Amino acid sequence: MKPRLAENEKENPIIVGLDIGTTKICVTVGRRSGTNKIELLGVGKAESSGVNRGVVANIQKTVSSIREAVTIAESQSNVDIKVVNVGIAGQHIKSIQHRGILTKRDYDEVGRLDVEQLISDMYKLVLPPGEEIIHVLPQEFTIDNEPGIKEPIGMAGRRVEANFHIISGRVTDIRNIKRCVDNADLEVSSLVLEPLASSEAVLDEEEKTAGVVLVDIGGGTTDVAIFHEGIIRHTAVIPLGGNIVTEDIKQGCSVLRNQAEQLKVRYGSALADENKDNEVICVPGIRGREAKEISVKNLAYIIQARMEEIIEHVYYEIKSSGYEDRLIAGIVITGGGAQLKHLVQLVEYITGIGCRIGYPNEYLSKTEMLNKQALEELKSPMYATSIGLLIKGVQAMEEDEATQQEMVSKRVSKEKVTEIAEEKRKKESWFTKILSDFIKDDTGIDDDTFIGKK
């Protein structure tokens, strides 16, 4: 019999994360525990067959996998899942820097609503056709010409300026993800860039302040996020991941794909020189054919060549960010690809920067809902994004509560709050909105249908 959930669900509401990856779809259910960590209540995992390099390629297959993962998570957690925080990645993700200015009427203190107003203004930026904003991340503030302020709330001033890191993505890919979630009878609470979620699970504030690069090597993509002085400075998504390594092994060793995956996981190494020359693996033949012998060292050469390419892409992003010489905490690798043997040594050799593997177990508390084996599995780097989505969901809920308290204390009008919230949620350009409304009113064609035919 499953233990019953605690009665304090209002104090510690349940959060659900949905990681739609290239190799797996993972649903995690949890809540903030009393120790300020995440208490996991349930986990559901299903094979992902409808996603290619972080982008939905087959909606029906993706929906089926989401439903399978949700069913498993619901049975473990005894929770009816309706609202989820969804991770997003893919080569279409871009980032830009922009500056916003807010002039207040009086010299009173800067509040959360002022910051929210600056953020909502960023959503009005004109982007290239077919793109929309996913995240607006404040960096540094300037209050009455006093620069370098990281936390402006509570400070007195009239003119508030802020630098923002703005992350955008392709409209069609974002809508395909939302459509998959909708078709699985779920509601999207928020879209979270996957490297940002992973960073919450494997990095601490000390590393972010010192300067650190997070590298999340997934099945289809490698996500990069650079932090310095506690602020996100650069993000990128590289369209190469663990799956392409498997394809290389399949071609180079002339084996089946599932055999190539097993070779990579069991015997794979990112450094060929670390393997013995006489070590050989025997792979069964197909339908009665003779078994094939594969040298472990040759296997490592195939893997090393592709991993060098991925790391070179990462190193290019580090150099182009301008923070190469300010990364005191070095590089943290996470994701399923981080489990490859000798990867840390290869990264340090190519980049000359210190490196470690990032595990998401630091922010997990003990729970009675999961058995010991399941909890140990979740400490693997491949679950960093899934755990990070829970943490981001908890953070967003806490920020919303703080904003509501400020609204009550300052007696802000409901109309003003609605205006800010709508601008923040607004993802379409005014022209697209007017055009879709016109078509819907004039012809009766649904907006999604029109966009799908376009």
Hey, which residues does 228 pair with through a beta bridge? Answer: 231
* 307: its two tokens: 């991993």
Which alpha helices (H) appear in 47-90, and where do they start and end?
59-77
User: pLDDT-derived band of residue 398, with 50, 70 and 90 as boundaries?
Assistant: confident
User: pLDDT-derived band of residue 413, with 50, 70 and 90 as boundaries?
Assistant: low
Region 116-120 average pLDDT: 91
- Please provide the distance, in angstroms rounded to a whole number, between the alpha carbons at the two ends of the chain: 52
Residue 224 has pLDDT above 90, yes or no: yes
Q: What pLDDT, on a 0 to 100 scale, did the predictor assign at position 270?
A: 94
Q: How far is CA 79 from CA 10, 48, 72, 194, in A?
A: 14, 23, 11, 24
Q: How far is CA 315 from CA 42, 217, 226, 341, in A?
A: 37, 14, 11, 20
Amino acid at 219: G
Range picked from 313-327, 370-384, 417-431 for highest mean pLDDT? 313-327
Q: What pLDDT, on a 0 to 100 scale, did the predictor assign at position 438?
A: 44
What kind and span of H or E run contains 19?
Answer: strand 15-20
Sign of CA dihedral 434, 439, 440, 441: positive
Q: What pLDDT, on a 0 to 100 scale, did the predictor assign at position 248?
A: 95
Distance CA 6, CA 306 (A): 48
Region 217-232 average pLDDT: 93
Residue 229 has pLDDT above 80, yes or no: yes
Distance CA 252, CA 234 (A): 35
Sign of CA dihedral 386, 315, 246, 173: positive
Distance CA 13, CA 82 (A): 13
Q: What pLDDT, on a 0 to 100 scale, did the predictor assign at position 207?
A: 95
> Any residues with CB less than 8 A from the CB of 60 and at least 6 apart, and which?
50
Hey, which residues does 95 pair with through a beta bridge? Answer: 167
∠305-310-311 over CA atoms, to 5°? 95
Residue 41 has pLDDT above 70, yes or no: yes
Distance CA 87, CA 190 (A): 9
The answer to whether 221 and 238 are in contact (CB under 8 A) is yes
User: pLDDT-derived band of residue 406, with 50, 70 and 90 as boundaries?
Assistant: low
Distance CA 247, CA 241 (A): 11
> Exposure pattern of 28-58 as b/e (b: 16+ CB <10 Å)?
bbbbbbeeebbbbbbbbbbebebbbbbbbee
Region 186-213 average pLDDT: 93
Q: What pLDDT, on a 0 to 100 scale, did the predictor assign at position 361?
A: 82
Amino acid at 395: Q
Q: What pLDDT, on a 0 to 100 scale, did the predictor assign at position 410?
A: 62
What would the pLDDT profile of 233-289 be if each residue is shown by its tens digit? Answer: 999 999 999 999 999 999 999 999 999 999 999 999 999 999 888 889 998 888 878
Tell me the average pLDDT of the chain: 85
What is the number of alpha carbons within 13 Å of residue 240 lying toward its C-beta?
A: 13
Residue 295 has pLDDT above 50, yes or no: yes
Region 110-121 average pLDDT: 89
User: pLDDT-derived band of residue 362, with 50, 70 and 90 as boundaries?
Assistant: confident
Q: Where do we find the tokens 């069913």?
A: 71
Higher pLDDT, 86 or 395: 86
Residue 437 has pLDDT above 60, yes or no: no
Q: What pLDDT, on a 0 to 100 scale, did the predictor assign at position 285?
A: 82
Residue 427 has pLDDT above 70, yes or no: no
Going by the DSSP 8-state scheme, the letter that residue 364 receives in this structure is B
Residue 81 has pLDDT above 70, yes or no: yes
Going by the DSSP 8-state scheme, the letter that residue 340 receives in this structure is S
Residue 442 has pLDDT above 50, yes or no: no
Q: What pLDDT, on a 0 to 100 scale, did the predictor assign at position 193?
A: 92
* 19: its two tokens: 């990681």
Q: What pLDDT, on a 0 to 100 scale, did the predictor assign at position 416?
A: 56
Global confidence as pTM: 0.83
User: pLDDT-derived band of residue 221, with 50, 70 and 90 as boundaries?
Assistant: very high
Residue 423 has pLDDT above 80, yes or no: no
* 162: its two tokens: 């802020």
Distance CA 337, CA 269 (A): 11
Q: What pLDDT, on a 0 to 100 scale, did the predictor assign at position 371?
A: 62
Q: How far is CA 239 from the centre of its chain?
A: 15
Distance CA 310, CA 343 (A): 11
Nearest to 195 by CA among 93, 55, 321, 265: 93
Region 143-167 average pLDDT: 92
User: pLDDT-derived band of residue 431, with 50, 70 and 90 as boundaries?
Assistant: very low
Q: What pLDDT, on a 0 to 100 scale, did the predictor assign at position 318?
A: 96
Region 443-454 average pLDDT: 41
Give the other-Cβ count within 10 Å of 191's Cβ.
18
- Mean pLDDT lowest for which of 5-19, 52-66, 84-98? 5-19
Q: What pLDDT, on a 0 to 100 scale, did the predictor assign at position 113?
A: 86
Residue 429 has pLDDT above 50, yes or no: no
